[in-house]
Amino acid sequence: HVEAVLRKQGHALVIVAEGAGQTQMGAEPKYDASGNILNEDVGLWLKGVIAKHFGQAKYDADPAFAGKKAKPFLVDPTYAIRAVPANAADQVYCSSLAHAAVHGAMAGYTRFIVGDINTRLAMLPLDVVVNRRNVVAIRDRMWTRLLFSTGQPPFEA
């Protein structure tokens, strides 16, 4: 798919979620002291795979790539997010979350998380939030909308 997009547009953007591709990378599961999975960096791995693929000699003779090199860049958004100063809306939202968390703690609640649900702050039991993995239904209407809006090819299910 990346090659088809490069041929058509001359550029491509690949976004990958943290934790994705662990099986393809051959990563061995590792855990921290709390039992949380420590994922290998899929971004660095994918950058290397893309560079190796488009570094093959066959692309030097290909008219679509003649004189050009497919050059992958890796941008880790965590640095960009932390580097931007909070604006007034961020400060108000974080303050509201903090107040709700303190209110819940002072009321004696434990093992809960505060979040925004339909424009209202809510306290949710932590066990309910982390009880199961989020499963994406690839035959669902929302998934189809996402594919259409991003131009991604459908997965074979």
The residues that bridge with 121 in the sheet, in sequence order, are 116
* Tokens representing residue 52 in the block: 């190796």
pLDDT tens series, the chain, 157 aa:
888 888 888 888 888 888 888 889 998 888 888 888 888 888 889 999 998 988 888 888 888 877 677 778 887 766 666 566 778 888 899 899 999 999 999 998 988 999 998 889 999 998 888 877 777 888 889 888 888 888 888 776 5
Euclidean distance between CA atoms 135 and 157, whole angstroms: 14
What's the pLDDT score for residue 65?
79
Q: Which residue has the tokens 């066990």?
A: 127
CA distances from 138 to 5, 15, 142, 152 (A): 22, 18, 9, 12
Euclidean distance between CA atoms 49 and 69, whole angstroms: 14
Euclidean distance between CA atoms 67 and 107, whole angstroms: 66
CA distances from 129 to 78, 110, 124, 132 (A): 23, 14, 7, 8
What's the pLDDT score for residue 96?
92
What's the pLDDT score for residue 98?
92
Q: What tens digit of pLDDT does each residue of 113-135 get? A: 999 988 899 999 988 888 777 77
